[in-house]
Amino acid sequence: MNRVDADLALQQINQLDDDNQADLSAFPGRNGWPVVGDGLAFFRDTLGYMNHMYAEYGPVFRMRLGPMESLTLVGPDPQQMVMLDSHNNFSTSKGYATSLGEFFPQNLLLRDFSDHKKHRRIMQTAFKNQMLESYMPALHTIIRKHVQQWGQQGELVFYKAVKAALLEVGSEVFLGMEMGAEANRINQAFIDLVTGSTAIFRHNLPGTAYARAIKSYRYMHDFLSSQIEDKRNGDQTDMFSLFCRERQENGDYFSDDDIVHHISFLLLAAHDTTTSTLLTMLYEITRRSDWQERCREELQTVSDDYLKYADLATLENCSYCFKETLRLYPPVIGMARRSIREFDYGGFTIPANCTISTSSLLTQRMPELYHNPNEFDPERFAPGREEHKTHPFAWFPFGGGAHKCIGLHFAEMLTKVTLFEMLRHYRFTARHHDPDFAFIPFPKPRDGLPVTLASLG
């Protein structure tokens, strides 16, 4: 198939009719129940449901969740085709319009091709190595304070605890706000927005999650807008300030609305993904205490009381655990796109205007790619095995191509700083191992992972 010019593709995206997407009834798959489709089965046991669909219908299957019908493509080849999109066949903005459009409008995932490129520039300074390094002391200070509090409690539900710590990271490192009443209000507004985005009941009636999200959206928008002038003229180096001072190609600042949309989305993109990673990683290393010990020993070889940026790459066991966690529990279990035009794949002709989902969840557990794929085995990433290198898209928790996660190094740095603060002083034990996992909106043990901390003395 011929490559279509990106500007033409951008125009064609606007012609896709959201209310009349392609008819997929000829594809393998099923409709599920009236109205809800397979929504209940999908939410109750996402991994089980997806495994079943793949086994029953093969690597291209149709599913219906409520009113949303989509085609899932399983395997590294289709992930590569969709993510790299060398023919400009796929719209990311249309793929995410329904889930993100209302409360996180005009963010980077809601932009395509040249428009996306123009806007991704707003983040370029904030994610340079030198800036990443500059965030490390603040990360250590915040996480250390929280871990000390956890140690005093002795027992806690890790999900709640880590969420609170990472909200503080968001306030200080992303927004440049000290914790206090204002930061708490912003954090609550952010939580309301995330909850409202996934609300099934979407009517603006008092007391509902959806109504709270609408109110919080206005509050957040007004608050962030009110800060821009000061941040533009100041010399703070939080990410929000850097966005305010970043310039477009023509030398102009980005508009106030652009800045607000991009920084709001950054909070979303960073928060639940890293919370989920730390949660699922701790889940695994409390089951596999040998790996908890290996990470601890490695972290104890760091002579300073703080990790330096250069230390990060030397923490091999922590890296393997990070990668293995993201293989088994990718926080973004599938990446959404809409086909701009018809294309051929796997013996099928897939029509234009069809929602496509890649599946990192299924692909990263394929026995063709990974030995004992459902087992937590971080060593598979070590030299000599490196199972993830059998295909460029065997391991892709951060996506790929133009929309590849801009925060991947930040995520790894935050994870390692948190492990450093946690494991050097405490041994973590899960109070029970509940294998019941939710994968939507992000992977997490449903019980939130109650843990006990024992001081190492």
- Contacting residues toward ligand HEM, per CB under 6 A: 92, 108-109, 120, 266, 269-270, 273-274, 277, 326, 331-332, 335, 397-399, 403, 405-407, 410-411
Q: What is the torsional sign of CA 344, 347, 352, 358?
A: negative
Query: How far apart are CB 251 and ligand HEM at their closest, in Å?
Result: 22
Query: How far apart are CB 361 and ligand HEM at their closest, in Å?
Result: 12
Query: How far apart are CB 206 and ligand HEM at their closest, in Å?
Result: 33
Q: Which is nearest to 92 in space by CA: 394, 409, 400, 350? A: 400
Q: What does the chain come to in residues?
A: 457
Instruction: Give the CB-nearest residue to ligand HEM.
Output: 407
> Cis peptide leading into 397, omega within 30 of 0?
no
d(CA 45, CA 225): 41
Question: Looking at beta carbons only, is 211 or 312 nearer to ligand HEM?
Answer: 312
In 292-347, the DSSP E strands lie at 336-339, 343-345
Question: Looking at beta carbons only, is 24 or 82 nearer to ligand HEM?
Answer: 82
Question: Looking at beta carbons only, is 169 or 211 nearer to ligand HEM?
Answer: 169
Question: Looking at beta carbons only, is 190 or 210 nearer to ligand HEM?
Answer: 190
- Torsion (CA) 244, 248, 252, 257 in degrees, nearest 10: -50
Query: How far apart are CB 372 and ligand HEM at their closest, in Å?
Result: 23
Question: Looking at beta carbons only, is 78 or 397 nearer to ligand HEM?
Answer: 397
Query: How far apart are CB 116 and ligand HEM at their closest, in Å?
Result: 6
d(CA 349, CA 340): 13
Q: Which is nearest to 454 in space by CA: 416, 428, 432? A: 428
* Type of residue numbered 151: G
Query: How far apart are CB 329 and ligand HEM at their closest, in Å?
Result: 9
Helix and strand totals (H; E) in the chain: 17, 12
Question: Looking at beta carbons only, is 41 or 326 nearer to ligand HEM?
Answer: 326
